[in-house]
Structure 1
Protein backbone atom coordinates (compact mmCIF):
# COMPACT_ATOMS: atom_id res chain seq x y z
CA UNK A 1 0.00 0.00 0.00
CA UNK A 2 1.47 3.33 -1.06
CA UNK A 3 1.41 6.46 1.07
CA UNK A 4 0.78 10.04 -0.03
CA UNK A 5 2.27 13.20 1.39
CA UNK A 6 -1.17 14.24 2.65
CA UNK A 7 -1.54 10.96 4.56
CA UNK A 8 1.87 11.37 6.16
CA UNK A 9 1.19 14.96 7.16
CA UNK A 10 -2.15 13.93 8.70
CA UNK A 11 -0.41 11.21 10.71
CA UNK A 12 2.38 13.56 11.81
CA UNK A 13 -0.14 16.18 12.94
CA UNK A 14 -2.05 13.57 14.92
CA UNK A 15 1.00 11.97 16.56
CA UNK A 16 2.73 15.25 17.44
CA UNK A 17 -0.56 16.97 18.34
CA UNK A 18 0.08 19.81 15.92
CA UNK A 19 -2.42 21.80 13.90
CA UNK A 20 -2.27 20.26 10.41
CA UNK A 21 -2.34 23.74 8.82
CA UNK A 22 1.01 24.61 10.43
CA UNK A 23 2.83 21.72 8.77
CA UNK A 24 4.88 23.33 6.02
CA UNK A 25 7.66 21.46 4.20
CA UNK A 26 10.26 24.14 4.98
CA UNK A 27 9.51 24.16 8.74
CA UNK A 28 12.16 22.59 10.94
CA UNK A 29 11.19 19.70 13.16
CA UNK A 30 12.40 21.72 16.16
CA UNK A 31 10.24 24.72 15.28
CA UNK A 32 7.23 22.43 14.97
CA UNK A 33 7.99 20.85 18.33
CA UNK A 34 8.37 17.37 16.81
CA UNK A 35 10.48 15.40 19.26
CA UNK A 36 12.35 12.16 18.78
CA UNK A 37 9.56 10.47 20.76
CA UNK A 38 7.03 11.80 18.25
CA UNK A 39 9.15 10.34 15.43
CA UNK A 40 9.36 6.95 17.14
CA UNK A 41 5.60 6.88 17.71
CA UNK A 42 5.04 7.84 14.07
CA UNK A 43 7.33 5.02 12.92
CA UNK A 44 5.27 2.52 14.95
CA UNK A 45 2.08 3.84 13.34
CA UNK A 46 3.60 3.61 9.85
CA UNK A 47 4.75 0.08 10.58
CA UNK A 48 1.27 -0.95 11.66
CA UNK A 49 -0.61 0.81 8.85
CA UNK A 50 1.72 0.10 5.91
CA UNK A 51 3.54 -3.06 7.02
CA UNK A 52 7.01 -1.54 6.76
CA UNK A 53 9.85 -1.56 9.26
CA UNK A 54 11.76 1.70 9.58
CA UNK A 55 14.13 1.96 12.53
CA UNK A 56 14.83 5.44 13.87
CA UNK A 57 18.54 4.63 13.61
CA UNK A 58 18.13 3.99 9.86
CA UNK A 59 16.85 7.51 9.25
CA UNK A 60 19.39 10.05 8.02
CA UNK A 61 19.87 13.33 9.86
CA UNK A 62 16.98 15.58 8.90
CA UNK A 63 16.11 19.10 9.90
CA UNK A 64 12.97 19.95 7.92
CA UNK A 65 9.55 18.40 7.72
CA UNK A 66 9.95 18.10 3.95
CA UNK A 67 13.11 16.02 4.33
CA UNK A 68 11.37 13.68 6.75
CA UNK A 69 8.27 13.32 4.56
CA UNK A 70 10.35 12.66 1.42
CA UNK A 71 12.43 10.02 3.21
CA UNK A 72 9.40 8.24 4.71
CA UNK A 73 7.44 8.31 1.45
CA UNK A 74 10.43 6.91 -0.41
CA UNK A 75 10.91 4.06 2.07
CA UNK A 76 7.23 3.13 2.32
CA UNK A 77 6.51 3.38 -1.39
CA UNK A 78 9.68 1.44 -2.31
CA UNK A 79 8.64 -1.43 -0.07
CA UNK A 80 5.06 -1.31 -1.40
CA UNK A 81 6.23 -1.65 -5.02
Structure 2
Protein backbone atom coordinates (compact mmCIF):
# COMPACT_ATOMS: atom_id res chain seq x y z
CA UNK A 1 0.00 0.00 0.00
CA UNK A 2 1.43 3.36 -1.05
CA UNK A 3 1.41 6.33 1.31
CA UNK A 4 0.72 9.96 0.46
CA UNK A 5 2.20 13.02 2.09
CA UNK A 6 -1.29 14.12 3.11
CA UNK A 7 -1.89 10.80 4.93
CA UNK A 8 1.41 11.06 6.76
CA UNK A 9 0.74 14.67 7.77
CA UNK A 10 -2.66 13.65 9.13
CA UNK A 11 -1.02 10.90 11.19
CA UNK A 12 1.71 13.25 12.45
CA UNK A 13 -0.91 15.83 13.39
CA UNK A 14 -2.75 13.22 15.44
CA UNK A 15 0.39 11.83 17.12
CA UNK A 16 1.87 15.23 18.00
CA UNK A 17 -1.54 16.75 18.81
CA UNK A 18 -0.98 19.63 16.40
CA UNK A 19 -3.29 21.62 14.16
CA UNK A 20 -2.88 20.03 10.71
CA UNK A 21 -2.61 23.50 9.12
CA UNK A 22 0.68 24.10 10.97
CA UNK A 23 2.33 21.10 9.32
CA UNK A 24 3.88 22.77 6.28
CA UNK A 25 7.07 21.48 4.64
CA UNK A 26 9.15 24.47 5.78
CA UNK A 27 8.13 24.22 9.45
CA UNK A 28 10.86 22.99 11.76
CA UNK A 29 10.15 20.08 14.07
CA UNK A 30 11.62 22.05 16.98
CA UNK A 31 9.36 25.07 16.38
CA UNK A 32 6.34 22.77 16.24
CA UNK A 33 7.38 21.02 19.46
CA UNK A 34 7.55 17.61 17.77
CA UNK A 35 9.54 15.40 20.12
CA UNK A 36 11.40 12.17 19.54
CA UNK A 37 8.54 10.43 21.38
CA UNK A 38 6.10 11.82 18.79
CA UNK A 39 8.32 10.51 16.00
CA UNK A 40 8.61 7.05 17.60
CA UNK A 41 4.82 6.91 18.03
CA UNK A 42 4.43 7.84 14.37
CA UNK A 43 6.83 5.05 13.36
CA UNK A 44 4.68 2.50 15.24
CA UNK A 45 1.57 3.80 13.46
CA UNK A 46 3.29 3.57 10.09
CA UNK A 47 4.35 0.01 10.82
CA UNK A 48 0.77 -0.97 11.64
CA UNK A 49 -0.84 0.84 8.72
CA UNK A 50 1.69 0.19 5.95
CA UNK A 51 3.52 -2.92 7.19
CA UNK A 52 6.90 -1.20 6.94
CA UNK A 53 9.54 -1.33 9.66
CA UNK A 54 11.57 1.83 10.13
CA UNK A 55 14.07 1.62 12.95
CA UNK A 56 14.68 4.83 14.87
CA UNK A 57 18.41 4.41 14.22
CA UNK A 58 17.98 4.47 10.44
CA UNK A 59 16.32 7.88 10.45
CA UNK A 60 18.67 10.68 9.42
CA UNK A 61 18.86 13.97 11.29
CA UNK A 62 15.85 15.93 10.10
CA UNK A 63 14.94 19.47 11.02
CA UNK A 64 11.86 20.20 8.91
CA UNK A 65 8.51 18.57 8.24
CA UNK A 66 9.46 18.34 4.54
CA UNK A 67 12.65 16.40 5.29
CA UNK A 68 10.68 14.00 7.47
CA UNK A 69 8.00 13.49 4.81
CA UNK A 70 10.59 12.89 2.06
CA UNK A 71 12.38 10.25 4.15
CA UNK A 72 9.21 8.48 5.31
CA UNK A 73 7.59 8.45 1.87
CA UNK A 74 10.81 7.07 0.38
CA UNK A 75 10.88 4.24 2.94
CA UNK A 76 7.18 3.38 2.77
CA UNK A 77 6.82 3.59 -1.00
CA UNK A 78 10.13 1.88 -1.86
CA UNK A 79 9.83 -1.16 -4.02
CA UNK A 80 10.37 -4.34 -1.98
CA UNK A 81 13.66 -6.08 -2.61
CA UNK A 82 13.34 -9.30 -4.60
CA distance in 1, matches of 2:24, 2:3: 18
Task: Spell out the pairing of 1:15-26 with structure 2 (5 A cutoff).
Answer: 15-26=15-26
TM-score (norm 1): 0.96
Contact 1:25 1:64 in 2 (8 A): yes
The superposition leaves residues 6-59 of structure 1 with CA deviations (integer Å, 9 ceiling, x where unpaired) of 000000000000000111100100001100000000000000000000011100
Determine the structure 2 residue equivalent to 1:73.
73
Point out where structure 2 has 5 or more consecutive residues left out of the alignment.
Answer: none
| Distance of aligned partners of 1:79 and 1:38 in 2 relative to their CA distance in 1, 3 Å threshold | farther
CA distance in 2, matches of 1:41, 1:79: 24
Point out where structure 1 has 5 or more consecutive residues left out of the alignment.
Answer: none
CA distance in 2, matches of 1:48, 1:15: 14
CA distance in 2, matches of 1:80, 1:18: 32
CA distance in 1, matches of 2:80, 2:17: 27
Aligned residues: 81
Contact 1:2 1:80 in 2 (8 A): no
2:49 matches 1:58: no
Q: CA deviation at 1:80?
A: 6.0
**SS of residue paired to 1:78:** coil
